[in-house]
């Protein structure tokens, strides 16, 4: 019995923020943003639309495309760094309720941009242990709620959105999730951090005045570690499974920065056609970025049943992960 990646869904909020918009709120310009990051637009949820709402919309699509009865879902995992509520209840519980599901485990995981691959690894383990028949995994982010729109070094990078997948079971080797690497190193915990409103710096007027409730990033340091770690991670995953990079149909990396993706693609000798790029359109949507990218190639009919995907992510923590997965949907 193997776990399989049965379906994909995503949701993009309707409000577009283009680079011109950022020119009007901070000292920046389209040329700097596009050259340094590859981003042209990103999307923003409405004020009354929360992370769970984005996740629910993505989940509905994934459930419908899987062709399953939602009552057969045995677990819901939501990866997010922008939950509806800081501590509780979890966004996964809220999503579960909004989907009309009850009495199944539902929990959030916090692994920043690597969250979707972390969720995938947990789903794989539960499905293969026959604890759940289907697991719904979601990467959902309303990053606009934790972005400091006065900080030009971060605000231009991030967008809102959600992606979801149904993980099921198969006995067919050609449909399975082949392998997953996940890892972390807390030494670099301050590279990407929201310093305020946790137990270390509980919410106070001082915290708010100093904008500590927002994401801070050591961009340049993160960039260097990201390129090195991601490259090593995927090289190790491919070699452990005896798969050469020319066999990859779709390399679907976390969409943080075009230059990081290009550097890792070059290390793997990947052809442009193999690399999925959505950073230009969505910016960095953290845990939602990989499933949104998978959804893009699905909806543009580039993703076919049996295609081999290589997923690769890196984020705050620091955390990282990669996975070799056959797409088992239709």
Site for ligand ACO in 133-152 (CB under 6 A): 152
Tokens of 20: 């011109």
Tokens standing for 280?
């230009």
User: Where would I find the H helices in the chain?
Assistant: 19-25, 30-37, 51-66, 91-98, 115-128, 152-155, 205-209, 219-240, 258-267, 279-282, 289-299
For residue 155, indicate whether it is catalytic. Answer: no
**Residue (30 or 128) nearer to ligand ACO, CB:** 30
97 among known catalytic residues: no
Q: Is 36 in the site for ligand ACO (CB under 6 A)?
A: yes
Q: Is 241 a catalytic residue?
A: no
**Among 16, 23, 32, 128, contact with ligand ACO (rule: CB under 6 A):** 32
Smallest distance from ligand ACO to CB 326, Å:
26
Measured CA to CA, the distance from residue 80 to residue 114 in angstroms comes to 10
CA of 292: how far to CAs of 20, 203, 233, 279, 297, in Å?
24, 32, 22, 10, 9
Cα–Cα–Cα angle for 81, 93, 198, rounded to 5 degrees: 35
Interface residue with ligand ACO among 52, 80, 91, 257 (CB under 6 A) is: 257
β-strand 73-79 against 106-109: which pairing, if any?
A: parallel
Q: Catalytic: which of 113, 155, 197, 257?
A: 113
Number of residues that bind ligand ACO (CB under 6 A): 24
Q: Which stretch binds ligand ACO (CB under 6 A): 29-37, 52-60, 119-127, 298-306?
A: 29-37
Sole window of 91-99, 119-127, 173-181, 256-264 interacting with ligand ACO (rule: CB under 6 A): 256-264
Query: Minimum Å distance from CB 28 to ligand ACO?
Result: 3
Interface map 284-323 toward ligand ACO (x if CB under 6 A)? x-x---------------------------xxx-------
Tell me which of 15, 23, 28, 70 binds ligand ACO, using CB under 6 A. Answer: 28
Question: In the window 174-213, what residues touch ligand ACO (CB under 6 A)?
Answer: 192
Q: Does residue 24 touch ligand ACO according to CB under 6 A?
A: no
Q: How far is it, in rounded angstroms, from Cα 277 to Cα 295?
A: 12
Chain centre to alpha carbon of residue 283: 12
Binding to ligand ACO by residue 260, rule CB under 6 A?
Answer: yes
Per-residue binding string, ligand ACO, 95-124, x by CB under 6 A, is -----------------xx-----------
Q: Which is nearer to ligand ACO, 61 or 292 (CB)?
A: 292
DSSP 99-163: TT--SS-EEEE--GGGHHHHHHHHHHHHHHTTS-SEEEEEEEE-GGGT--TT-HHHHTTB--EEE
Answer whether 309's CB lies under 8 Å from 117's CB. no
Nearest distance from C-beta of residue 286 to ligand ACO, angstroms: 5
Q: What is the gyration radius of the CA atoms in the chain, in angstroms?
A: 19
Question: Phi/psi of residue 206, each to 5°?
Answer: -65, -45
> Per rule CB under 6 A, is residue 227 in the interface with ligand ACO?
no
Q: Which residues are 73's β-sheet partners?
A: 134
Catalytic amino acids?
A: 113, 254, 284
Which residues contact ligand ACO by CB under 6 A? 28, 32-33, 36-37, 112-113, 152-153, 156, 192, 219-220, 222-223, 226, 256-257, 260, 284, 286, 314-316
């Amino acid at each position: 019995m193997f776990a399989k990646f049965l379906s994909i869904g995503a949701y993009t909020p309707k409000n577009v923020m283009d680079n011109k918009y950022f020119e009007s709120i901070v000292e920046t310009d389209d040329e700097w943003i596009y050259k340094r990051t590859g981003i042209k637009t990103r999307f923003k949820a409405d004020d009354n639309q929360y992370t769970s709402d984005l996740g629910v919309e993505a989940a509905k699509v994934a459930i419908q495309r899987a062709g399953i009865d939602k009552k057969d879902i045995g677990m819901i995992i939501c990866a997010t760094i922008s939950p509806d509520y800081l501590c509780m209840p979890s966004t996964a519980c809220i999503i579960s309720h909004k989907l009309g599901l009850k009495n199944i485990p539902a929990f959030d995981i916090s692994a920043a941009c690597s969250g979707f691959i972390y969720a995938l690894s947990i789903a794989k383990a539960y499905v293969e242990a026959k604890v759940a028949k289907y697991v719904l995994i979601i990467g959902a982010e309303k990053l606009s709620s934790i972005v400091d729109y006065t900080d030009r070094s971060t605000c231009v990078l991030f967008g809102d959105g959600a992606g979801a997948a149904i993980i099921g079971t198969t006995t067919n080797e050609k449909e399975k999730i082949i392998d997953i690497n996940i890892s972390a190193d807390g030494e670099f915990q301050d590279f990407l951090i929201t310093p305020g409103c946790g137990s270390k710096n509980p919410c106070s007027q001082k915290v708010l005045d100093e904008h500590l409730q927002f994401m801070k990033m050591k961009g340049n340091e993160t960039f260097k570690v990201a390129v090195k770690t991601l490259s090593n991670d995927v090289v190790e995953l491919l070699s452990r499974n005896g798969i050469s990079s020319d066999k990859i149909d779709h390399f679907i990396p976390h969409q943080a920065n075009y230059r990081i993706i290009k550097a890792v693609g070059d290390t793997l000798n990947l052809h442009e056609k193999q690399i999925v790029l959505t950073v230009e359109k969505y910016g960095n949507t953290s845990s939602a970025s990989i499933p949104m990218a998978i959804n893009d190639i699905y909806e543009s009919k580039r993703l076919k049943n049996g295609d081999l995907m290589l997923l690769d992510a890196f984020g705050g923590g620091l955390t990282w992960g990669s996975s070799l997965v056959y797409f088992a949907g239709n």
